[in-house]
Amino acid sequence: MFGLHQDEIDRRFMQQALELARRALDSHDVPVGALVVHESRVIGRGYNQREKLHDPTAHAEMIALSAAAEYLGQWRLDDCTLYVTLEPCTMCAGALVLARLPRLVYAAADPKAGACGSLFEITQDARLNHRVETTAGVLAEPAAELLREFFRNRRAQGDK
């Protein structure tokens, strides 16, 4: 994206991730959206589908990473950036390290389960063979508002 600063590029892609998060919200799942970008092109998209697929691993990040790997025809996601609306959990952070993803951008922090700085620091752990450059807080408030809306609705329906 010629002529744009990195923070503007990050905001534009995060806006797309927020649109994916709204799809998760519409399907009654935790509103998290993710996309993988390679050479300024989105090559993988995902949103939480645990409820729809009855799959505990159907996190937005996992779906987006799988789609990107399929697109590239390899498991190494060199030169890619993952944009996600919520700080990745331990499973997803581990997948970022295993995929050799160089960069992560996330919106809202997750103090209860975040594994990229909040609760754990998997993506920066020197004991692992790869580290992921991380930018946090891009469009954090709109992402957090989607999460608040989801949990307000769940509580109103008597769900935990």
Catalytic residue selected from 8, 19, 39, 61: 61
User: Is 61 annotated in the active site?
Assistant: yes
Tally DSSP H helices, then E strands, for the chain. Answer: 5, 5
Burial of 23 (0-12, 13-18, 19+ CB in 10 A): middle
Using CA atoms, how far residue 100 sits from 52, 104, 145, in Å, is 29, 11, 31
25 near 154, Cβ under 8 Å?
no
Residues 6 or more apart whose Cβ sits within 8 Å of residue 83: 10, 13, 14, 16, 17, 34, 35, 36, 37, 105, 106, 138
Could you tell me the strand order of the sheet in which 33-38 lies?
41-47, 33-38, 80-86, 103-108, 133-136
Residue 35 forms beta bridges with which residues? 45, 83
Catalytic site positions: 61
